[in-house]
Each structure stands twice: as structure tokens, then as C-alpha cells.
Amino acid sequence: MLLSISVYAEENEVQEQENIEIEKKNIDENEENISVDEEKEEIIEEEKNDAEKEVIPSIFYKAHVQDYGWQKYVSNGSMSGTSHQSKRMEAFQIYIDKKLEGSILYKSHIQDIGWEDNWKKDDELTGTSHQSKRLEAIRIKLTGKISEEYDVYYRVHAQDYGWLGWAKNGEIAGSIGYSKRLEAIEIKLIKKENPEKTGNSYRVKKTELRYQSHIQSIGWQGRVKNGELSGTSGKSLRIEAFKANISYSIYSGNIRYMSYVQGKGWETSWKTKNTLSGTEKQSKQLEAIKMELYGEISEYFDVYYRVHVRDYGWLGWAKNGEVAGNIDTSFRIEGIQVKLVKKGEGEATGNSYIEKNAKIYYSSHVENLGDLKEVCDGVTSGTTGKSLRMEALNVKIDSKFTGDVLYESYIEDLGWESSWKKNNEMSGTSHESKALNLIKIKLSGELADNYDIYYRVHSEVYGWLGWAKNGEVAGATNYDIQAIQIKLYLKKDTEKNSLSTKNHYVVTGFYKENGYTYYKDKKGNNANDWITIMNEKYFFNSQGVMIGRNVKKVIDVSAWQKDIDWDTVKKYGSVDGVILRIGAGCEEDTKLERNIKELKRLNIPYGIYVYSYAENYNEGKEYANFTIDMLKKYSMNPTIGIFFDLESNKYTKNLGVSEYTNIVKGYMEVMANSGYGLNTKIYTYKNYADTSLNSDYLRNQITWIAQYNHFCTYSGSYVGWQYSSTKTVPGISGNVDVSVWFVSF
């Protein structure tokens, strides 16, 4: 019986506990169903009913928390958010009751966004919704009558930092630049006569301005900061687009910028926060740019910027919306620097942009083409690479200034014209087939007072000569002018232009005879070897005929040359590149290791070749594998090329086109599959190319040809001509093979 009573009692206790739990659950569910407005009224009512408590304005706030969503409103210093749960706050709302006139203002620093541009107020949402972005810092302040009697205090619980110190009245609470989430917040109103201690309420990195440029042929560069160069210097590459952003600022606002784009003019709107200004994939240069700060940061900082402009170099600094660059002069921006400077601490600005009030127009009459269309301001008139002479020139100027443009030509067989031409008169001849050899151009009147005129010509032998100016002679005696460029510079900007005025006029030792070009030295002797003229290398054959201009001298060596004194070769040999034998057959050349180390030490460009005894497809593959092994063994970078040396020897003398086709396919397939295909070609000599290798497939692979003669008569295309095997080079004992290389490497 006692057992039954005991069991009955236990059952009653269990039932009673279940009833309590159900009742508690119902209460919780009812509480959750209370509307936001009811919740606010309930809190306010509780405050009203507290008769003992001094009646002061109340502040209410709630947070939107990761995974949990919106929490309930809390008030007057209570915690909203979470602690020790690693949950980010993503948004919050604040309001005050209306016991006193005024509003509560607040804004957030948001992940990947930074400070909000505008203050939120009176229960508006600050932060983001459905974006999973953490709040990192906040600022809160009062306005209106309530701000005269009360201060608003607040502190935050931040990731890794815990509770930071109290901030008040618009100060920062949280962190900037450290990617730390806010996890909780407490806010309260304190009467001004009872101030509380504040401090250590935030962690902030140093304010940083970062920017980057999109460069012709390069694309987007990495970001630089605070005055560093973005773009290039000395490479003649245009900036096509620009981005900028300010990070880690304690102030709201940012930088905005606008570009003047080639052929389009000024963009129609400001760009900001790393938005692209300019163009991509349109090959259009930036010609001018302006920048300014907006928001709070503009009250504390100025933004300074300057640009590097083609031919002018660095212009002066601009600031706060001033123009930097050039308008109507069509010169590209090549570099840019931007920096933030505290108000009142900046340097003087000025001369930050070029704006011309005059334009120069010109046209030329060219052999076989007749009158070409008019161009202006540095654009080429005439032709290059077509061996067509200029026979006449017309020049005119459009300006508000008085004065003329004057020009005079030296005409083939006739000499200098008897008088200066001006204002679109023809200088030269028509229908007489006579070339212009030299030219002079100058200005008069107010034009001469305000402008310098620069011009340069493309000569048939020298190519583009240096810039002449203000009446100097441009051209090369006895040689045709093929093209011309003319520019105006404001005199005040002349010191900024970077045009070289060296070598604009050449009294040349070149002459032509029987369709060939020769060169006489000061003693009247014809050049018949390698010479350098105006920093360009020329090769003349044993008969004195010019074979190549701006060409390179290349030697090839092997163990036959023994131990080479490479320092002497570099200093005295006038050698531009070396091709090393890596092996004969699949056996490593005994001097390869020494030679490759020396070439790398002295930074001498090189290529490699392997001498072949291969007789079939599989052996061709073996030679390719050997080549790759050597490349990897010595970490080689053969910029001149990789060559498969095909010659007649005791193993190959009976091979024909079909056998060589299989051998070469085996070699090339392996090289291509290993990533060396584009750099791998054939070396051979002319007679072998014309017989055993005489097929379209094989001849297409031949780019280095040997023929020991005055001229190379091989009909295929080639980049290197080995013209001798009996030359001497300082630093090398015995004879050396020497080639003319017609392309850069």
C-alpha cells in the first residue's frame, strides 16, 4: 500500500511539472507574439509606473544578430547583442521617447563598405539586411533640446577585444581596419552635470588612401598608397583607367574622381569607392583627372594629386577638384600620384594642367600617294616602313595670337629654297620626283612669344631623328625625309617637356650606289664589318654593303673553344648574344656547365643548340628529351632560341626529306608538349636546306641559316644568318662562328 501511495505521489509530481512547463511555454509564446509597438509601450509603461525613479528620457535599442535575427528592444544601458557566442551584429535601431525635443543620430562602419554616408535617426535601420556583413564600429549623438541637457554614452563588445571603454556624443566605438565584428552594445543617457569617464573606446589603423591604374599592354597594376607612383615612367604607356578608395578613416565620406577620356571628354559623373573611371579594352588614354573629398573627411583633409604627361613629364600638384593633365592637347597620362594632407599642411599648387590656345596643322605630298590628309599636333604625316619619299609640305596654325608659321625645305639636287614659306603655302616640289632631305620651321610675332615649335623627321636610313625646334635643321644630308611630326609647346611649359633634341640633324657618311647602301668613315674608307652609329648597330659585308641596321652580333660556341674568358668577350668583343652547344648527340658538351654559369653571371643573352645524329622519329624524341633535361638541369632561359642542328654527317648523310620530316616531328612534338614549341626551331646551312630539308614543313622550321658568302641567298625566311666560321673574338682562342641577328631578343 505504501508503495502504491508513493508511486501515485510521484506521478502527481511529474504531471504537475509537465503542467508548469506547458504553462511556461505558453507564456513564452505569448510574449513572442507581442508586437514591436506593444513591446515599446510595455517598457515605457514600466518606466512611468516607477514613482521612486527620477523621470528622465529613455533610450531604446535592439540589434540584428547573426543566426538569431532581430532581438527585442532593451533600454537604458542594458546589453543588446550577445557575448561569448562569436555572433556578429549586422544592424541595429535606436530611438528615444519624446519627453524632450530632439533626435538620436547614429551611423555604422560596415564590413567591406566602411562608414555609411548619411546619419540614420529615430529608429531607422543602420547596417545591412540579408548581406551577412558585420558591424565594426558605431557613432551615436543627440540633436535638438535633449542634446543641451543630456549626453549619450555607449560602449561595444568587440571580437577579441571584449568590452571596450565608453564613448559619447559621436565618438567612435569599435574598431576600423582590423576586421573585428561587434557582438554587443550598451547605450545610456547621462545628464550633463553628472559626466562619466570615457576613453579607449576604439581601435583604428592609420587612415590610408589606396589607388591603382589600368595600363596599356599591362592591365591593372597593384594598388599603391599615399603618394606612391601608379602607372609607369619612361615606358611611353598610357593610363586607361583609374580607381581609388580611402580606408580606415575615423570620418565618414571618401574620395571621388572623374577623368577626361581620349575622344570622349569629361565623364558625366563622379566615381568613388574603387569604381572604375576611364575605360577598359578600348585603347583610350586618360588625358586629365580631378579628385575631391566628400563627407566629414573633407573637413579635416585635402587630397593632392599630380600626373606625368607624355612629353611634359610631371606637372604641378592639384588639389580638391582642380584639373590635373591636359585638355585639347591629346597627350596621354603615364603616371599619377595621390596623397591625403591634413588641412593647412599642404604645399603650393599650380601648373597642374596644360591647355593650349593654338593648334598646328600640316600635310605632306608623298611619292606614289600624292597629297595626304591634314593632321595636327604631333600626329605623323607621311609614311614609315614603305621607303616612300616626302616631296612637299604644307603647314598652318590656328590661334588667337598674331604671327605666322614659317618653314623652308632642302630639296634633293636643288638645295635650300630661296625663301621661307608660310601659312599653308607649299614647300618642296610637285611632279618632279624630288625628295625633301632637310627642313626648318619657326614662328613669328605673338606666336613666337608664347610658343616653341618642335618637329622631327623620319629619315630613310636613320628612322626617327631627334626633335629640332624654332628654326633648327632637321634631317640627314643626302637622304629622303619619309615622315614628319610637328608640335607646339607653351613656353612656360617647355621645361617640362621630355623631347630629346639630340641628333636632329645628321651630316651622314652613308651613300647609295647601284641599289646598295655604303658608309665611308672620316678617312674615306668603306665600312666592312660591325659599326655603331647613333647608338644603333650596323653590319656591312666584306664588300662594304650594308646588310642590316639595328641588328645584333651573335656567336655560337662549344667545347671546341675551350675555356673562354667571358669578361673579355663582354668588354671587348662587341657581342650581343651567344648560342651554346648543349651536346653532340645526346652527350652533354664538356664546357656547357662553365659557359652557362658565366653567361648568367655576366647577364649575356643566350640560346642553345643540339647537334643531331638522329635517324628516325623515336631518336628525334630522344634528342628532345635530352634538350629538356639540359634546360632543367641548368635552369636555362634561352631567350635567343632553342635550335635543332641538322647537318650531314656519317649517320645522316643518306637521309632525305621524308626521313627528316619524321625526325623533326618527333623532336618538335616533345618540345611542344613540354611548353617549348614556340621557341624551338632548326639550324642548318643553305645547301642542306635546299636539298635534304626542302619541304614546306621543314623550311617553315628553319630560322637560323649558315652561308659563308657576301650575301645570304637562302629564299626562305630567317632571323639569323651565320655568315662566317673564321672570325676572331677577344677572349676566345681560335676561330668563332658569327651570325647577324635581325630581330631583338
What is the extent of the structural domain holding 235? Answer: 208-355
Interval 558-562 mean pLDDT: 96
CB 549 within 8 A of CB 578: no
What does the alpha-carbon distance between residue 559 and residue 575 come to, in Å, rounded to a whole number?
19
Q: Tell me the residue ranges of DSSP E strands in 460-551.
A: 463-464, 468-469, 474-476, 481-490, 505-506, 510-513, 516-519, 530-533, 536-540, 546-549
Lowest mean pLDDT among 313-322, 369-378, 498-507, 724-733: 498-507
What does the alpha-carbon distance between residue 115 and residue 245 come to, in Å, rounded to a whole number?
12
Interval 654-666 mean pLDDT: 97
What does the alpha-carbon distance between residue 680 and residue 716 come to, in Å, rounded to a whole number?
17
pLDDT of res. 482? 97
> In this predicted model, which residue has the larger pLDDT, 5 or 487?
487
CB atoms within 10 A of CB 291: 28
- Output phi, psi for 400, to 5 deg: -80, -15
**pLDDT confidence bin for 8, thresholds 50/70/90:** very low
525 and 574 fall within a common domain: no
Centroid of chain to Cα 445: 43
Interval 35-58 mean pLDDT: 58
265 and 304 fall within a common domain: yes
225 and 370 fall within a common domain: no
**pLDDT confidence bin for 491, thresholds 50/70/90:** confident
Q: How far is CA 17 from CA 4, 14, 233, in A?
A: 20, 5, 82
From the number of C-beta atoms within 10 Å of its C-beta (0-12, 13-18, 19+), residue 16 rates as: exposed
534 and 609 fall within a common domain: no
What does the alpha-carbon distance between residue 270 and residue 528 come to, in Å, rounded to a whole number?
63
What is the crossing angle of helices 657-673 and 617-633, to 10°?
40
- Average pLDDT over the chain reads 90
Query: Per-residue pLDDT for 344 more than 50?
Result: yes
Beta bridge partners of 301: 342
Query: Per-residue pLDDT for 737 more than 50?
Result: yes
CA neighbor of 112 nearest in space, from 160, 159, 179: 179
What does the alpha-carbon distance between residue 658 and residue 351 come to, in Å, rounded to a whole number?
71
What does the alpha-carbon distance between residue 105 and residue 97 come to, in Å, rounded to a whole number?
14
pLDDT of res. 39? 55
Lowest mean pLDDT among 23-32, 336-345, 381-390, 697-706: 23-32
489 and 573 fall within a common domain: no
Mind listing the pLDDT tens digit for each residue in 286-314?
A: 999 999 999 999 999 999 999 999 878 89
Beta bridge partners of 362: 375, 395
pLDDT of res. 377? 87
CB 364 within 8 A of CB 382: yes
192 and 223 fall within a common domain: no
Tell me whether residue 29 is in a domain. Answer: no
Interval 225-253 mean pLDDT: 93
CB 36 within 8 A of CB 28: no
DSSP reduced 3-state for 559: helix
Mind listing the pLDDT tens digit for each residue in 370-424?
A: 999 999 989 999 999 999 999 999 999 998 889 999 999 999 889 899 999 999 9
Q: Domain end: 309, 337, 355, which one?
A: 355
Q: How do beta strands 370-371 and 286-294 pair? A: unpaired
pLDDT of res. 34? 44
Query: Per-residue pLDDT for 197 more than 90?
Result: yes
DSSP reduced 3-state for 1: coil
| Grid cell at residue 241 | 583607367
- Output phi, psi for 694, to 5 deg: -85, 75
DSSP reduced 3-state for 473: coil
What does the alpha-carbon distance between residue 614 and residue 667 come to, in Å, rounded to a whole number?
10
pLDDT of res. 524? 63
CA neighbor of 493 nearest in space, from 335, 306, 401, 356: 356
CB 136 within 8 A of CB 130: no
**pLDDT confidence bin for 11, thresholds 50/70/90:** very low
**pLDDT confidence bin for 5, thresholds 50/70/90:** very low
Q: Domain end: 355, 370, 395, which one?
A: 355
pLDDT of res. 12? 46
- The rounded percent of the chain whose pLDDT value lies above 70 is 90
51 and 101 fall within a common domain: yes
293 and 389 fall within a common domain: no
pLDDT of res. 217? 93
Tell me whether residue 393 is in a domain. Answer: yes
**pLDDT confidence bin for 195, thresholds 50/70/90:** very high
What does the alpha-carbon distance between residue 10 and residue 699 come to, in Å, rounded to a whole number?
104
Interval 568-595 mean pLDDT: 96
What does the alpha-carbon distance between residue 656 and residue 127 come to, in Å, rounded to a whole number?
79
**pLDDT confidence bin for 500, thresholds 50/70/90:** confident
586 and 518 fall within a common domain: no
pLDDT of res. 85? 95
Tell me whether residue 266 is in a domain. Answer: yes
Tell me whether residue 118 is in a domain. Answer: yes
Tell me whether residue 699 is in a domain. Answer: yes
Specify the CATH number for the domain of residue 603.
Answer: 3.20.20.80
What does the alpha-carbon distance between residue 459 and residue 432 come to, in Å, rounded to a whole number?
20
Write b or e for each residue in 512-529: b if 16 or more Cβ atoms lie within 10 A of its Cβ, otherwise e: eeeeebbbeeeeeeebee
445 and 558 fall within a common domain: no
From the number of C-beta atoms within 10 Å of its C-beta (0-12, 13-18, 19+), residue 735 rates as: middle
| Grid cell at residue 351 | 601648373
| Grid cell at residue 156 | 561595444
| Grid cell at residue 409 | 625645305
Mind listing the pLDDT tens digit for each residue in 59-106?
A: 999 999 999 999 999 999 999 999 899 999 999 999 998 778 899 999
CA neighbor of 333 nearest in space, from 262, 228, 245: 262
pLDDT of res. 523? 62
Q: Residue for cell digits 598674331?
A: 402
DSSP reduced 3-state for 9: helix
Q: Domain end: 476, 508, 540, which one?
A: 508
From the number of C-beta atoms within 10 Å of its C-beta (0-12, 13-18, 19+), residue 457 rates as: buried
- pTM, full prediction: 0.45
Reported as type and span, the H/E element at residue 703 is strand 702-706
371 and 493 fall within a common domain: yes
Mind listing the pLDDT tens digit for each residue in 433-484?
A: 999 999 999 999 999 998 999 999 999 888 999 999 999 999 988 789 999 9
Mind listing the pLDDT tens digit for each residue in 706-717?
A: 999 999 999 999
CB 683 within 8 A of CB 667: no
- The rounded percent of the chain whose pLDDT value lies above 90 is 76
Query: Per-residue pLDDT for 29 more than 70?
Result: no
CB 92 within 8 A of CB 185: yes
What does the alpha-carbon distance between residue 273 and residue 23 come to, in Å, rounded to a whole number?
55
Query: Per-residue pLDDT for 357 more than 90?
Result: no
Query: Per-residue pLDDT for 52 more than 50?
Result: no
Tell me whether residue 27 is in a domain. Answer: no
**pLDDT confidence bin for 33, thresholds 50/70/90:** very low
Mind listing the pLDDT tens digit for each residue in 590-623?
A: 999 999 999 999 999 999 999 999 999 999 999 9
- Structural domains counted in the chain: 5
Q: Is the dihedral of CA 621, 622, 625, 626 positive or negative?
A: negative
CA neighbor of 93 nearest in space, from 138, 127, 62, 49: 62
What does the alpha-carbon distance between residue 47 and residue 14 come to, in Å, rounded to a whole number?
39
Mind listing the pLDDT tens digit for each residue in 122-140?
A: 999 999 999 999 999 999 9
Which residues, 6+ apart, have CB-to-CB distance to 311 below 8 Å?
331, 487, 497, 498, 499
455 and 381 fall within a common domain: yes
Q: Residue for cell digits 566629414?
A: 296
Helix, strand and coil percent figures for the chain, each rounded to 5: 20, 40, 40
Interval 232-258 mean pLDDT: 93
Query: Per-residue pLDDT for 741 more than 70?
Result: yes
Interval 562-574 mean pLDDT: 96
CB 273 within 8 A of CB 234: no
| Grid cell at residue 595 | 659557359
What does the alpha-carbon distance between residue 284 and residue 211 come to, in Å, rounded to a whole number?
19
pLDDT of res. 437? 93
Q: How do beta strands 224-225 and 208-215 pair? A: antiparallel
DSSP reduced 3-state for 277: strand
**pLDDT confidence bin for 55, thresholds 50/70/90:** low
Return the ∠ at Cα 52 (arms to 48 and 58), rounded to 5°: 40
Tell me whether residue 567 is in a domain. Answer: yes
Tell me whether residue 11 is in a domain. Answer: no
Query: Per-residue pLDDT for 24 more than 60?
Result: no
